[in-house]
Structure 1
Amino acid sequence: MQAYWLNSKYLSGSAYYNPTNGNSASDDGHKYKGRGLLHLTWKNNYRRASNGLNDAYGAGTYDLVNDFISVSENPIVAARTAAWYWKNGSAWGNLNSIVDRVNYSDQINFEATIRGVRGGGDPPRVATWNSIRNTIYGPNSYGNMGKVLSALGITAIPTKRYHAQFGVSLNKMVLQRCPAVILAEAGKLAHETASAPLYADNGIV
């Protein structure tokens, strides 16, 4: 019964009654909880987000205190409020300065951004992040990707820093030397099918 009561409070929003954060009316908790890509919460944050977005997109463009529903139903508003919060809304300031730190591990930086967004930790989210990271950097995943890229003349180096896209750093494609026997067979096939013959310069096509 207690678990049901607590769950009902969170579903109704009554658990989010907090005048310090702007939720002073009985229905403010329901209005200003968990909307948008980063679950914007508290009336004061909706007011701050309105001011921040109006600075960026023109005075009077947004009134999220009254149009709070747009944060969850309008994808543009959802994305813009999330971007605003990531850069300006967190108590830690710009979270890019946290996630980009090079003197800490990626996991420590990730956990810090979680606290910056949520105000506390979230072990299940860290577990999901680790699962994704292990898949990207796993030997099978990287090995298969490396073989495909190698066939295209691109060398791939496994990289575990934040700035590496998709977990690998790619070098410039290099033309591969084609064995003469393959060139001979390809030329023969082209001749037999009345196609234009293949030409090679020093064995490189």
Structure 2
Amino acid sequence: MTSRVTFVSPAMSLSLREARFDDGGSIDVDGEARAHAAAGSLRPATCVVVSPSVRCRETATALGLDGAEAEELAGLDVGRWRGRSLDEVNGGEPEAVAQWLTDPSSAPHGGESVRDLCARVARWLETSLDTDGRTLAVVEPEIVRAAVVHVLAAPHAAFWRLDVPPLTATSVSGRSGRWNMRLGHPLDAAEPDA
């Protein structure tokens, strides 16, 4: 049995545009229009799941997808930094930001570490091996990064070296504990087979 998971990043939002930690805001007008235009570009799926954030739910709706919220695919919990820009946080807590960006085990914001996030996503991905067919997951960019780190068995420090543009799809296919990956194709083109 081969499992296929396509991770779709959310449409553009004000917090993404301003490089802010997610503040629970909506996708912007342009992001919504682009998502509507991309509706129908994804292959049908047996299962659709969505990160529980507003922007992921709105992106899924604009893409014409009706999916169940998956708490285990929630974005990285950044604790007290939520809603603030990286520049703001760095201005007040430069040592904490430097530690967070260099030590995947640290969580100076009081939330979740990158290592813990990667472990959470790896557990979810491994359980998805039991799903026959295709799963679509509209998820936060950091969930895509964590999945890539897991699939490639990359060091956790690689997490910060991965860019995930809005409204792109990253697909993995796996069986017998082995995964293959297709990275970031735009949703305005037909989705290739993974």
Superposition TM-score, scaled by structure 2 size: 0.27
Superposition TM-score, scaled by structure 1 size: 0.26
Larger RCO, structure (CA 8 Å, separation 6 or more): 2
Greater percentage in strand: 2
Greater percentage in helix: 1
